[in-house]
Amino acid sequence: MSQLKIYNTLAREKQTFIPIEAGKANMYVCGMTIYDYCHIGHARMMMAFDVIYRWLKASGYQVKYVRNITDIDDKIIKRAVENGESISQLTSRFEKFMDEDTQALGILPPDVVPHATEYVPQMLGIIELLEQKGLAYKGEDGDVNYAVRDFPGYGKLSGKSLDDLRAGERVDVNTGKRDPLDFVLWKASKESEPDEVKWPSKWGSGRPGWHIECSAMSCATLGQHFDIHGGGADLQFPHHENEIAQSEGAFGQAMANYWIHNGFVRVDNEKMSKSLGNFFTIRDVLKKYDAEVVRFFILRAHYRSPLNYSDAHLDDARVALTRLYTALSSIDIGSGECTVDWDEAHAVRFREAMDDDFNTPIAVAALFDLASEVNKSRSPAQARQLKALASVIGLLGRSPQQFLQAGTGDSGGMSEAAIAGLIEQRAAAKKARNFAESDKIRADLLAAGIVLEDKPDGTTNWRRA
């Protein structure tokens, strides 16, 4: 049996996964800062770790998956003030929207979802430890900062030397710092900020910096040393570099053994981001494309590779996923749960691919090869194997009819009732030997994206093109 290998950003190579505790896998992933709708870039990150979560469980590990919510942040405060609402009103609304989007995409909920505002005491505890060890100091402006040059390992994740580094994107260089590279751990309160973002501390009223939030939440939920830490490639520096400095500086031991980062979504060869204005929200995309098509589109690329977003690529994903469902469409596989036979040849290839740093493109290729076998053999056993194997990565969960008849923007909005009515009219026309009318109805339906499946006893089924 193959062994799971993970590309570890910290080591810059694939490494065999050896958990801290045999049979268990603890994973922390940096989640959303919730002040707006999630876009496809966010979906790609959550999908990457959903697949990792699913595969760890399929491999027999007892998994504890933690994905946090950042519900206190400069952007959140700014948006709430602009909207004239409280921070909690803003964040609870967009957390609900995020949950709706992820559920639609088949992304499993994490085991633990810590919110930053619930862990301020733990953050203050870590900052105090850092101060005691000479790694934190209070600046003239009242902020408490991390002394980057006093932590010997700084830069080991990003591979940057101190001379090459610059202050992080979310950190304003100010006169209160001893060094421009130092980053804020505790922000002194401003009079203009809402009272709900002001917490008491030994350094005065304030709120946590972004980086300390994840150090505190990961430690509180998984311990000071855990197996896997993940997030988008944009978090590698400065966020994850700063987390390592905080956690390892405070506790004197490795924070996480494996660091996993997913690649960007790109549009016209540029990273998809709100700052560039080239992002597509999940819910806008789902107005046009079936959610499983979007999931399949993301899974066809390796999680570390760039993912090029376009309608053409989504259209291609829809056609490809239709091929898999069509292979199952005329085979009775029964109503019972399908289980994977891991000794079967396609499953062996699938496992080898997933054990090779979660290589979903190769795993999906094994599904297509198996679908070709199903089309030839019409074997219920092989069809069950296809459905079971696909379910490991969250695909083919519906009946073929449910998928093939699912409405999208491409079908012109024609309802199932309208389609059924036209099929009845066509059957009546054929019975009356009015073949011209029968052919016209078929052609009109095809023009509307509806394909009829005729058999000697009549139209037995239909699907959307």
Residue with tokens 């876009």: 39
Give me the CATH number covering residue 98: 3.40.50.620
252 and 328 in a single domain? The answer is no
Q: Contact 224/243 with Cβ under 8 angstroms?
A: no
Residue with tokens 């009015």: 434
What is the reported pLDDT for 110?
98
What is the reported pLDDT for 170?
44
Residue with tokens 């597509």: 280
Q: Contact 87/197 with Cβ under 8 angstroms?
A: yes
Written as tens digits, the pLDDT of the chain (465 aa) is 579 999 999 999 999 999 999 999 999 999 999 999 999 999 999 999 999 999 999 999 999 999 999 999 999 999 999 999 999 999 999 999 999 999 999 999 999 999 999 999 999 999 999 999 999 999 999 999 999 999 999 999 999 888 776 544 344 555 689 999 999 999 999 988 999 999 999 999 999 999 999 999 999 999 999 999 999 999 999 999 999 999 999 999 999 999 999 999 998 778 777 777 788 999 999 999 999 999 999 999 999 999 999 999 999 999 999 999 999 998 988 878 899 999 999 999 999 999 999 999 999 999 999 999 999 999 999 999 999 999 999 999 999 999 998 765 444 466 666 676 677 677 666 667 776 766 776 776 766 667 776 666 665 566 666
Which residues are annotated binding-site positions for Zn(2+)?
A: 30, 214, 239, 243
What is the reported pLDDT for 413?
62
Going from the C-alpha of 240 to that of each of 48, 108, 213, 389, the distances in angstroms are 18, 24, 11, 34
326 and 373 in a single domain? The answer is yes
Separation CA 315–CA 313 (nearest Å): 5
328 and 235 in a single domain? The answer is no
What is the reported pLDDT for 293?
97
Helix (H, G, I), strand (E, B) or coil at 368: helix
Give me the CATH number covering residue 370: 1.20.120.640
Could you tell me where the DSSP H helices lie in 71-156? 74-83, 87-104, 120-132
413 and 400 in a single domain? The answer is no
124 and 224 in a single domain? The answer is yes
275 and 313 in a single domain? The answer is yes
What is the reported pLDDT for 433?
72
Q: How many residues does the chain have?
A: 465
Q: Which of 219, 240, 262 is the last residue of a domain?
A: 262
Which residues are annotated binding-site positions?
A: 30, 214, 239, 243, 274
311 and 425 in a single domain? The answer is no
Which residues are annotated binding-site positions for ATP?
A: 274
Q: Which of 247, 262, 277 is the last residue of a domain?
A: 262
9 and 129 in a single domain? The answer is yes
369 and 239 in a single domain? The answer is no
Q: Which of 201, 233, 262 is the last residue of a domain?
A: 262
244 and 347 in a single domain? The answer is no
Residue 53 makes CB contacts below 8 A (sequence gap 6+) with: 27, 63, 65, 108, 110
111 and 171 in a single domain? The answer is yes
Q: Which domain holds residue 291?
A: 267-404
379 and 425 in a single domain? The answer is no
Q: Which residues pair with 51 in a beta bridge?
A: none
What is the reported pLDDT for 169?
39
In the Cβ-directed half-sphere of 110, how many Cα atoms lie within 13 Å? Answer: 22
Looking at the structure of the chain, the number of domains it has is 3
Going from the C-alpha of 277 to that of each of 37, 213, 270, 274, the distances in angstroms are 14, 27, 11, 5
